[in-house]
């Protein structure tokens, strides 16, 4: 059995998270993001962003988690209170936005994504969050199928982001974080 875990990110993780993000996007999003966008990804900029997210989060409810297999960092997720809720969204004050759950492809299919998502839900619940949302590229079928298999559902919202080299369409998925009191009793 592999030694696997999920832990909070620390300062020394930023460079490896940046590498995982860029390598994974260049492979997994090759047919989703325009080539100039992927070619223009900067390891230094990504590392600076992750360093900021890890060491100077806007609130204690903004977190970055790292998936580990033995001593290797193999994936991560970032999440925090949702800032882009819609006027008619339910529970806006207790909605958490979950960033991409990224696992480096060579470490895929070992449960790392599921562990990252479960830890995210547990911590969000501890913070009093009752609902989660995630924006994903419309063409990201693996992520959509993964989230659907864990109880998430599209909520009908779509947005278009200008990448500088074309438009990226994203869909929003959501799920309730309220535990069913009948489960497990």
Residue 39, C-beta contacts closer than 8 angstroms, at least 6 positions apart: none
- Whether the pLDDT of residue 181 is over 90: the answer is no
The answer to pTM > 0.85 is yes
Q: pLDDT digit string (tens) for 90-143?
A: 999 999 999 999 999 888 888 999 999 999 999 999 999 999 999 999 999 999
Q: In the prediction, which pLDDT does 184 show?
A: 46
Beta 102-103 vs 153-162: how paired, if at all?
unpaired
CATH number of 4-176: 3.40.630.30
Residue of 54, 108, 59 whose CA lies nearest to 78 = 54
Q: What is the pLDDT of residues 68-96, one digit of tens each?
A: 999 999 999 999 999 989 989 999 999 99
pLDDT-derived band at 185 (thresholds 50, 70, 90) equals very low
How many whole angstroms separate alpha carbon 72 and alpha carbon 85?
35
At residue 129, the 3 state secondary structure works out as coil
Q: Which is it for the CA torsion 89, 120, 100, 138, positive or negative?
A: negative
């Amino acid at each position: 059995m592999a030694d696997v875990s999920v832990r909070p990110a620390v300062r020394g993780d930023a460079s490896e998270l940046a590498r995982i993000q860029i390598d994974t996007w260049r492979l997994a999003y090759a047919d989703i993001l325009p080539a100039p966008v992927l070619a223009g990804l900067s390891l230094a900029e990504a590392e600076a962003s992750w360093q900021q997210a890890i060491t100077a989060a806007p609130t204690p409810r903004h977190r970055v988690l790292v998936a580990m297999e033995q001593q290797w960092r193999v994936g991560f997720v970032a999440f925090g209170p949702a800032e882009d809720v819609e006027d008619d969204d339910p529970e806006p004050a207790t909605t958490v936005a979950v960033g991409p759950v990224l696992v480096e492809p060579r470490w895929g299919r070992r449960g790392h994504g599921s562990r990252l998502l479960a830890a995210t839900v547990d911590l969000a619940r501890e913070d009093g969050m009752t609902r989660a949302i995630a924006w994903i590229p419309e063409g990201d079928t693996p992520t959509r199928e993964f989230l659907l298999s864990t109880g998430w559902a599209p909520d009908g919202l779509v947005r278009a982001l200008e990448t500088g080299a074309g438009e990226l369409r994203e869909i929003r998925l959501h799920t309730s974080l309220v535990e069913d009191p009948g489960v497990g009793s």
